[in-house]
Amino acid sequence: MAPVRLNALHPLASAVTGLSAGAVTALLLPGPLGGALGLLLAGGGLIGSALVSEKRAAGQREQVLAAIGEVKVRLATNAIRLDSLARRVEELPMREADAAPARATLNELTAEVGLLGDLIHQVATTLADHDAELALARSRQQAAPPAPAPAPLPVVLDPEAAMRARIEAKAAEREETIRQAQRRAADERAAVISQALSEGRVEVHLQPIVQLPQRRTRGYEALVRLRLDDQTLLLPEHFVKIVEERGFGPTLDALVLTRALAIARHLGAKDGKLFVSCNFSAATWGSAKALSALSRILDKYREHAGHLVIEMPQTVFRALDPTSLGFLGAMSANGVRFALDQLVDLRLDPASLADRGVRFVKAPAALLQADAVGRVAADIAASDLAALLARAAITLIADDIEDDPTVADMIELGVGLAQGLVFSPPRPVKPEVFAEPSAAPVRELEPAPARPSAEVLGYPAPVPAEEAKPERLPFRSVLRRASA
């Protein structure tokens, strides 16, 4: 027969046993003695049942605390694993666009693990506080005499609301931590970009602007790139905003303008009247100091300005102040041509644009197509835009063309120049383009071959002619000529 485990018995088993023994004793022993013994046995059973219940409750509480501790250990282990995984992701040679979703997912998992750990810690703390309050209450009851209980106050407890408040507070704290981490990462990224800019690690890629329908190259657009290291090349949408926020827009524009002028110098040595266009930041157009510095650069390389086109967004052009318009006129007087870029509508005044030095208008192909079907507010129909601009000596350029059907639509609309990936993606510039032109070497005149002498040919040697002696004039003749 298997031994009976007392711990497996129900706590009420002691009470039932005590009551049964007391009843049997009271029945078997007559008189008051039997009744007294029966009450004692019944009370002992009840006391034993209470002790067993308390002991079991203490054991269950210990098991709960141990389980909570194990869960906390596992959460800590998972947090360490997530941190290690985040470091591995950072070390992988990934592009920024591919690494950003992975970082966001890891940040969310880290936040969830941290929140769960906080909740487990709150449960353990609550149990510990409950045990401490019970012990303190028992010690007070034993030390102080029993006092009359005060009238109970109506206390309304909402555990769910308190739990929601704690969860919201922890979530807000976690979000603040994430925002601080994002700010630190943004500051570090800005420092890296600023260092690369200060070291001049700016690259220029060229995308051709072709003539329709022949697709012959008529010019190029200089697109800026920022080199962080041998494997990281940032596009403008990844660093221009940071550069402008940090106040480095004029520095970047000066570097781009210098490289564009070097390309213009190279194009000037070729036939075909090719040009190169570049962009300035909005902060530069709003700063008289930055425009003055760029104007000085243009004055220094005035002989190459005829092959340079400066692009300006339509919104920036409409917001130019009188000072910026003055610099615009000074640049135009030096031979610089301008292009209106990033059109948001077709409300254009060709004569006014021509007066400001605008010689090109770059309109997105999607905008021209939308206007052709009447979905864009415009003063000039897309089918008439190229002809009306041409009357003011302005050339229309269709931008962002990605397929051949769009090319056909642009030809139908009379567009003369076009640009887009369907013709060619941006390509880096050859290093020799930026090299200073070397002076042409002076060819030394080769000595004329010695003519064979008469003795070699068998002819008599020529008689040397007498040298003409200078005519000697009398002093009076010289004096007469001087006084005549």
Whether 364 shows a pLDDT value over 60: the answer reads: yes
Q: Give yes or no for a contact between 234 and 226, defined as CB atoms under 8 angstroms apart.
A: yes
| pLDDT mean over 399-418 | 91
* Residues 192, 308: Cα–Cα separation, whole Å: 31
173 and 90 part of one domain? no
What pLDDT is stored for residue 451 in this prediction? 46
E-strand ranges in 199-336 read 202-211, 216-229, 232-234, 275-279, 308-313
* Residues 374, 372: Cα–Cα separation, whole Å: 6
In a domain, 450, yes or no: no
Question: pTM for this one?
Answer: 0.54
- Region of 171 please: left (phi>0), alpha (psi -120 to 50) or beta: alpha
Among the ranges given (5-9, 173-177, 207-211, 394-398), the one the predictor scored with the smallest mean pLDDT: 5-9
172 and 48 part of one domain? no
What is the tens place of the pLDDT at every residue in 426-468?
Answer: 998 887 777 665 544 445 445 545 444 444 444 445 455 454 4
What is the tens place of the pLDDT at every residue in 13-25?
Answer: 666 676 677 676 7
Structure tokens at 137: 């209450």
Q: Who contacts 264 (Cβ-Cβ below 8 Å, separation ≥6)?
A: 275, 276, 301, 304, 305, 306, 307, 308
In a domain, 160, yes or no: no
| pLDDT mean over 410-416 | 90
In a domain, 153, yes or no: no
Of 255, 306, 302, 256, the C-alpha closest to 279 is 256
Domain CATH code at residue 275: 3.20.20.450
In a domain, 474, yes or no: no
Q: Give yes or no for a contact between 228 and 285, defined as CB atoms under 8 angstroms apart.
A: no
122 and 181 part of one domain? no
Give how far Cα 53 sits from Cα of 47, 59, 432, Å.
Answer: 10, 10, 91
* Residues 433, 203: Cα–Cα separation, whole Å: 13
Pairing state between β 358-364 and 395-399: parallel
| Residue 408 pLDDT level (bands cut at 50, 70, 90) | very high
* Residues 225, 233: Cα–Cα separation, whole Å: 7
409 and 328 part of one domain? yes
Give how far Cα 175 sits from Cα of 108, 171, 182, Å.
Answer: 10, 6, 10
How many domains, in total, are found in the chain? 3
60 and 181 part of one domain? no
- Region of 127 please: left (phi>0), alpha (psi -120 to 50) or beta: alpha
Residue type present at position 125: T
In a domain, 448, yes or no: no
49 and 172 part of one domain? no
| pLDDT mean over 46-60 | 72
In a domain, 343, yes or no: yes
| pLDDT mean over 211-233 | 88
380 and 250 part of one domain? yes
Among the ranges given (47-61, 177-191, 383-397, 436-450), the one the predictor scored with the smallest mean pLDDT: 436-450
Tell me the residue range of the domain where 185 lies: 165-199
320 and 247 part of one domain? yes
Of 125, 122, 115, the C-alpha closest to 78 is 115
In a domain, 463, yes or no: no
Q: Who contacts 79 (Cβ-Cβ below 8 Å, separation ≥6)?
A: 110, 113, 114, 117
191 and 208 part of one domain? no
Whether 150 shows a pLDDT value over 60: the answer reads: no
Q: Who contacts 35 (Cβ-Cβ below 8 Å, separation ≥6)?
A: 26
In a domain, 446, yes or no: no
Structure tokens at 64: 């709960």
Half-sphere exposure of 17 (CA within 13 A, CB side): 11
| pLDDT mean over 161-168 | 80
Fill in the DSSP letter of residue 421.
Answer: T
Residue type present at position 255: L
What is the tens place of the pLDDT at every residue in 96-146?
Answer: 666 677 767 767 777 676 667 666 767 767 777 777 777 777 677 666 555
Q: Angle between the 249-268 and 236-245 helix axes, to the nearest 10 degrees?
A: 130
